[in-house]
Amino acid sequence: MQEAIEKADTLIEAMGWIRRFRDSITVIKLGGSVMEDADALRHLLVDIVFMETVGMRPIVVHGGGAAISRAMAEAKLEPNFIQGRRYTDQATLDIVCRVLAGDVNEMIAQRIEEFGGRAMPLNPNGETDNNVLFGEKLTLAGEDGTEVDLGFVGQVTDVDRDTLDNLCYAGQVPVIPSVCKTKDGQLLNVNADTAAMAVAQAMGAEKLIFLSDVNGVRLNKDDPESLIHTLTADSAKELIQRGVIESGMIPKVEACLETLSKGVQKIHIIDGRLRHSLLLEIYTNRGIGTEIVSEI
Ligand SMILES: Nc1ncnc2c1ncn2[C@@H]1O[C@H](COP(=O)(O)OP(=O)(O)O)[C@@H](O)[C@H]1O
Ligand SMILES: CC(=O)N[C@@H](CCC(=O)OP(=O)(O)O)C(=O)O
């Protein structure tokens, strides 16, 4: 009996948070690295089903960098990253469309349904055109100021908000792969952190949560104890310049900074491998991981 009473107490404790976030949109970016861990993925997807069940409106944007690199290795292709973006020629794009926009996208949606939720895979490449991300070719400036060619790599310029709103309203979790379509119908490979940023901005999300395989931004990337709980925009820029924030963390933090300036209220980078990390982030006062803020 005591155990049942404690469970009921926990439910009542959660009530304030549930009311606070009811009807609010949370964009959740699932990184490829955390999806490699089957247990972690299962717990995250169950948390997402819980969020939807209590009236929040989660939207999933996912990457799948590790799965793409594996498929490239099988095809004897060597991945090449320029400023954190994968150089994408036609053969690589075919793999991105098949693996990320196809297999990974379908798998996430299917598993959400297995756990009792409803999900809509938004594969722009499928038989039914479910595309919600529109964009253009991304051009980057190299160190010498000249343009760097990344091949079929894009940036999102427009998001189909109506479709996403309707899905959320109908209790379905939109599952969006990081691929966009140009006006001419060309598919482009998009860094998943920047895709999540674009969705959060367009939807006026209350929260944007990046789920990764580290506990947040660290002063020493190999030391979990050096976690930075609150990172301001100025210090984030400085840490990127000093090389403390590097590799895959750069697009993530840059996406956070850009999102901050566009009105998303809360942005967190958290460890998706920690059991119930999503619920802990939402239903506890302090939250976990690193919160990115404009200033303290
Ligand atoms: N300062 C830092 N703090 C934490 N992680 C960092 C830092 N700098 C670089 N990283 C690296 O960034 C990685 C997360 O980015 P990435 O591999 O792209 O993940 P995801 O697939 O989740 O997007 C971490 O595993 C870590 O190796
Ligand atoms: C242009 C570009 O780099 N696209 C990424 C898309 C996947 C991604 O971002 O996945 P993670 O979230 O697992 O890193 C790529 O090809 O790896």
CATH number at residue 83: 3.40.1160.10
- Alpha helix segments (H runs only) across the chain: 2-21, 32-35, 38-53, 65-74, 90-95, 105-114, 161-169, 192-203, 233-241, 249-260, 277-283
Is 6 a domain residue? no
Question: 50 C-alpha vs ligand 2 centroid, how far in Å?
Answer: 27
Q: Does residue 243 have a known ligand-binding role?
A: no
Is 15 a domain residue? no
pLDDT averaged over every residue in the chain:
92
Place of tokens 């150089």: 87
Does the pLDDT at position 286 exceed 70?
no
Is 155 a domain residue? yes
Is 280 a domain residue? yes
CA end-to-end span of the chain, whole Å?
46
pTM of the model: 0.94
CB–CB of 191/246 below 8 Å? no
Is 288 a domain residue? yes
Enumerate residues 6+ apart whose C-beta is below 8 A from 274.
Answer: 215, 280, 288
Ligand 2 pocket test target in 33, 86, 96 with most atoms within 8 Å of CB: 86
Degrees, nearest 5: CA angle 34-84-66: 30
Ligand nearest to the CA of 104: 2
Is 19 a domain residue? no
Is 56 a domain residue? yes
**Long-range contacts (CB closer than 8 Å, 24 or more residues apart) made by 167-170:** 167/120, 168/25, 168/57, 168/59, 169/57
Return the SS3 of 227.
strand
Q: What are the pLDDT digits (tens) for 98-116?
A: 999 999 999 999 999 999 9
What domain count does the chain have?
A: 1
Closest ligand 1 atom to residue 217 Cα is 3
Contact 249 CB / ligand 1 (< 6 Å): yes
CB–CB of 58/28 below 8 Å? yes
Does the pLDDT at position 33 exceed 80?
yes
Token pair recorded at residue 243: 């090389």
How far, in whole angstroms, is CA 142 from its chain's centroid? Answer: 26
Contact 247 CB / ligand 1 (< 6 Å): yes
Residues spanned by the domain of 278: 25-293
Q: Give the dihedral of Cα atoms 126, 129, 133, 135; nearest 10 deg.
A: 100
Contact 85 CB / ligand 2 (< 6 Å): yes
Is 10 a domain residue? no
Contact 214 CB / ligand 1 (< 6 Å): yes
Q: What are the pLDDT digits (tens) for 215-274?
A: 999 999 999 999 999 999 999 999 999 999 998 898 889 989 988 888 787 899 999 999
Question: 66 C-alpha vs ligand 1 centroid, how far in Å?
Answer: 13
Q: Does the model's ipTM exceed the 0.90 cut?
A: yes
Question: 68 C-alpha vs ligand 2 centroid, how far in Å?
Answer: 8
Q: Does residue 57 have a known ligand-binding role?
A: no
Choose among 157, 187, 234, 205: nearest CA to 29.
Answer: 205
